[in-house]
Amino acid sequence: MHRTSFDRMPCPIARSLERVGEWWSMLIMRDALHGMTRFDQFQKSLGIAPNMLTRRLEALTAAGLLERRRYSEHPPRDEYVPTARGRDFRPVLLALLAWGNRHFAPEGASVQLLDRHTGAAADPILVDHFTGKPITEGDHVLAVGPAAPERTRRRYASARADVGPTPQKQAPAARITHRRGSRS
């Protein structure tokens, strides 16, 4: 069965899923961002078949999330290190962690985010990069960007009516910060 490609869709969520939407990819990135770099480490952590792991590492490397580096010539061995693009994926994984703990862990959190300095539990929230204010459904809406095709403009046509003055510049992506002392 041929998988549908999201690569040419104008939606940034669809394009992102093209790179990391396969579940093994997310778990490989989780482990890579936790410090694993070698094929055998990923395989042991995930219990994934070697041929599948090879395909996923190649795809993540081609997408620019991991960089392949040779660490041994004899025998030839490579490691996989997150790139800047790959490190930018960390907030997405932290948001999934918090969401999963909140909605799919009735027994309680098996993994939690802690403040490195205080040891207190942290609850990640999405905040605006410029203002530092939390992104909330009541205060923020999705709207078309300057490169949106007509179909996307129609889909989000009603959003402009809910927004104040047109922004002067395009904001960088929102970021995830952490609320101290909250439980996921």
Q: 83-133 pLDDT, tens per residue?
A: 999 999 999 999 999 999 999 999 999 999 999 999 999 999 999 999 999
Same domain, 76 and 28: yes
Mean pLDDT of 60-87: 96
Say how far apart CA 77 and CA 118 lie, in whole Å.
39
- The answer to whether 113 and 122 have CB atoms below 8 angstroms apart is yes
In the chain, the N- to C-terminal Cα span, in Å, equals 38
Same domain, 78 and 129: no
Same domain, 72 and 96: no
Q: Residue 180: how many CA atoms within 13 Å on its side-chain side?
A: 6
Say how far apart CA 25 and CA 58 lie, in whole Å.
10
Position 42 in a domain: yes
Mean pLDDT of 127-153: 90
The pLDDT of residue 183 is 45
Q: What is the pTM of this model?
A: 0.80
Residue span of the structural domain in which 171 resides: 90-180
Last residue of a domain, one of 87, 106, 126: 87
Position 100 in a domain: yes
CA angle 35, 37, 42 (to 5 degrees): 95
Same domain, 81 and 136: no
Domain count for the chain, please give it: 2
Say whether pLDDT at 1 is over 50: yes
Same domain, 172 and 153: yes
Same domain, 21 and 77: yes
Write the CB contacts of 140 (distance below 8 Å, at least 6 apart in sequence).
128
